């Protein structure tokens, strides 16, 4: 079986997977062990200590590589732990050009942790890929792209950015958390590295915190494996198992997330009490052309601003929702609603936040896979009240 030729819907289930060698278990056992017996010093079966490698984690890492059309997958304790490993590739004095409206925790990691180690970050609106080049100098080592962006749903042209990255010999990393490989595979568009918060759609059931990296180049993979083992922010076997189980239904969940996302976006767009709806599937969305070319569909994330635009009304609406749960996070089977300015993006200073459009009236929805009619009825009652 030539794995590379398998379609996505088959890779999610079989990619990089083999029945377990011991008893033929179809799902990899949860190898809840820290260490492995050796017959003679150094005489082991490929595993010696679970920070370095664990068979359940290996099964997950192989699945991650397969679904992202990459060669090497690495799994971490969280999405931010995966990002932390990427930035540790850099040295003091190096510079990073990053998307300006990105996940609040990513911004905090860059600004409040790594800046004090002498790494400089530029936060740039990347909808026009050409503006990136103006921020690149001889110290630039990495371009960090998040698309669609969180929570403004801007779409960045990965292929366009990759041309700039290649021209300047800079590494390109894409946070593919929102889209998932169901919608886009950045490595196929010229990215060097894909990162995931597998806590979200890949895990898909809001029961695990986990991060992932996927790359194609052996040299880059080796450097990241070194950091993964040396810094040690690995995920445990139970969490690896949960993420792997989640991936097996990614394609069916994503199909429904996209259908429901569209239904909710269209409902909100026609509502008299709503000022703006952010969803890349609208033809009027400023980056719709790129989204249409780059993505297979438009995903389940929808943001909107009610007519009054004030914080009180936004909070009132999210508190009134009953089927949507008011909570951080996204990408699970259940629908969630959030108020980015006071939740996911509270760690970004108000002025910075508002520059990228995250105003106090903004509400973000992670549309789940429930009945679309129930979700719309829930929004209807909350908007009326
Ligand atoms: C949640 C999230 C992260 C951080 O991942 P954790 O698993 O929470 O550490 C990074 N990027 C995006 C887009 C996210 O939504």
pLDDT digits (tens, 9 = 90+) for 305-349: 999 889 999 999 999 999 999 999 999 999 999 999 999 888 888
Clarify whether residues 217 and 285 are in a common domain.
Answer: no
pLDDT of residue 346: 84
Is 293 noted as a catalytic residue in this protein?
no
Q: How confident is the model at residue 193 (pLDDT cuts 50, 70, 90)?
A: very high
Read off the pLDDT of each residue in 149-168 and give the average, rounded to a whole number.
95
The side-by-side arrangement of strands in the sheet containing 211-215 is 72-76, 211-215, 193-197, 171-175, 140-146, 95-99, 120-124
Residue 385 has pLDDT above 80, yes or no: no
State the pLDDT confidence band at 1, using cuts at 50, 70 and 90.
low
Q: What is the C-alpha to C-alpha distance for residues 98 and 95, in angstroms, rounded to an integer? A: 10
Number of domains in the chain: 2
Query: Ligand 1 centre and the CA of 103: distance in Å?
Result: 7
Residue nearest atom 5 in ligand 1 by C-alpha distance:
79
How far apart CA 249 and CA 151 sit, in angstroms, is 25
* Helix residue spans in 68-157 (DSSP H): 79-87, 104-108, 130-133
Q: Residue 211 Cα, ligand 1 centroid: separation in angstroms?
A: 8
Q: Over range 114-118, report the average pLDDT.
A: 98
β-strand partners of 97: 122, 143
Q: Same domain, yes or no, for 81 and 210?
A: yes
Residues at CB less than 6 angstroms from ligand 1: 78-80, 103, 105-106, 146, 150, 175, 177-178, 197, 199-200, 209, 211
- What digits encode the pLDDT tens for the residues 270-296? 999 999 999 999 999 999 999 999 999
CATH number at residue 362: 3.90.1150.10
Clarify whether residues 183 and 278 are in a common domain: no
Taking CA atoms only, the protein residue closest to ligand 1 atom 4 is: 79
243 and 313 both lie in a single domain: no
Pure H helices in the chain: 8-14, 55-67, 79-87, 104-108, 130-133, 158-167, 180-183, 218-231, 237-247, 250-269, 288-294, 311-320, 350-355, 372-384
241: Cβ–Cβ under 8 A, 6 or more apart, which residues? 27, 28, 30, 56, 60
Domain with 184 in it: what CATH number?
A: 3.40.640.10
Answer for the pair 307, 301: CB distance below 8 angstroms, yes or no. no
- Claim to verify: residue 223 and residue 299 sit in the same structural domain: no
Same-domain check for residues 197 and 290: no
Tell me the mean pLDDT in the region 208-220. Answer: 98
Shared domain for 156 and 126, answered yes or no, is yes
Mean pLDDT over the full length of the chain: 96
Looking at residues 202-208, what average pLDDT do you find? 98
Write the CA distances from 339 to 74, 100, 105, 364, integer angstroms: 32, 19, 15, 6
* Residue 245 is a catalytic residue: no
**Whether residue 111 is found in the same domain as residue 239:** yes
pLDDT recorded at residue 189: 98
Mean predicted confidence (pLDDT) in 117-131: 92
Q: Is 20 helix (H, G, I), strand (E, B) or coil?
A: coil
- For residue 336, the SS3 value is strand
Q: What is the pLDDT of residue 280?
A: 97
Same domain, 198 and 346: no
Q: What is the mean pLDDT of residues 262-266?
A: 98
Our answer to whether residue 200 is catalytic in this structure is yes
Whether residues 305 and 215 fall in one domain? no
pLDDT per residue as tens digits for the range 38-79: 999 999 999 999 999 999 999 999 999 999 999 999 999 999
Would you state the pLDDT for residue 319? 96
**Does the structure show a pLDDT above 90 at 195?**
yes
Q: Residue 332 to residues 1, 82, 178, 252, 367: CA-CA distances in angstroms?
A: 32, 20, 12, 13, 9
Question: Domain span at residue 299?
Answer: 251-384
In the 8-state DSSP scheme, what is residue 22? T
Give the closest residue to 363 by CA, choosing from 260, 155, 27, 335. Answer: 335
CB within 8 Å of 105: residues ≥ 6 apart = 79, 80, 344, 347
36, 47, 51, 311: the catalytic one is 51
In this structure, the answer to whether residues 117 and 52 fall within a common structural domain is yes
Catalytic residue among 103, 107, 267, 298: 103
Last residue of a domain, one of 206, 221, 247: 247
Residue 175 has pLDDT above 90, yes or no: yes
pLDDT of 3 higher than 90:
no
pLDDT tens-digit profile of 215-260? 999 999 999 999 999 999 999 999 999 999 999 999 999 999 999 9
Sorted by sequence, the CB contacts under 8 Å of residue 214 that are 6+ apart come out as: 64, 65, 68, 70, 72, 73, 74, 187, 193, 194, 196
* Whether residue 240 is found in the same domain as residue 291: no
**In a 3-state reduction of DSSP, which class is residue 120?**
strand
């Amino acid at each position: 079986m030539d794995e590379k030729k398998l379609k996505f819907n088959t890779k999610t289930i079989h990619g990089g997977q083999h029945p377990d060698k011991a008893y033929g278990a179809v799902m990899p056992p949860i190898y809840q062990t820290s260490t492995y017996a050796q017959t003679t010093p150094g005489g082991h079966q490929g595993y010696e200590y679970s920070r370095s490698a664990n068979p359940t984690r290996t099964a997950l890492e192989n699945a991650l590589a397969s679904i992202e059309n990459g060669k090497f997958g690495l799994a971490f304790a969280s999405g931010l732990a995966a990002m932390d490993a990427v930035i540790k590739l850099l040295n003091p004095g190096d510079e990073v050009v990053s998307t300006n409206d990105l996940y609040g925790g990513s911004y905090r990691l860059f600004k409040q942790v790594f800046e004090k180690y002498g790494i400089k970050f530029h936060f740039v609106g990347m909808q026009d890929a050409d503006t990136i080049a103006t921020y690149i100098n001889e110290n630039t080592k990495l371009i960090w792209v998040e698309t669609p962006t969180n929570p403004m749903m801007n779409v960045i042209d990965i292929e366009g950015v990759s041309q700039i990255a290649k021209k300047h010999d800079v590494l390109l990393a894409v946070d593919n958390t929102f889209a998932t490989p169901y919608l886009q595979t950045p490595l196929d568009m010229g990215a060097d590295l894909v990162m995931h918060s597998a806590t979200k759609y890949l895990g898909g059931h809001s029961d695990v915190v986990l991060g992932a990296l996927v790359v194609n180049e052996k040299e880059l993979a080796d450097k990241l494996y070194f950091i993964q083992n040396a810094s040690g922010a690995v995920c445990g076997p139970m969490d690896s198992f949960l993420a792997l189980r989640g991936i097996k239904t990614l394609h069916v969940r994503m199909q429904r997330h996209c259908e429901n996302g569209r239904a909710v976006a269209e409902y909100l767009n026609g509502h008299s009490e709503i000022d703006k709806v952010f969803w890349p599937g609208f033809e009027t969305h400023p980056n719709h052309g790129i989204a249409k070319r780059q993505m297979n569909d438009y995903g389940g994330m929808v943001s909107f601003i009610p007519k009054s635009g004030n914080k009180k009304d936004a909070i009132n609406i999210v508190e009134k929702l009953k089927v949507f749960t008011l909570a951080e996070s996204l990408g699970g089977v259940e629908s969630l609603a959030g108020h980015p300015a006071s939740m996911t993006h509270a760690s970004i200073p108000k002025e910075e936040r508002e520059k990228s459009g995250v105003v106090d009236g903004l509400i973000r929805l992670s549309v789940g896979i429930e009945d679309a009619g129930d979700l719309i009825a829930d929004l209807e009652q909350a908007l009326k009240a």
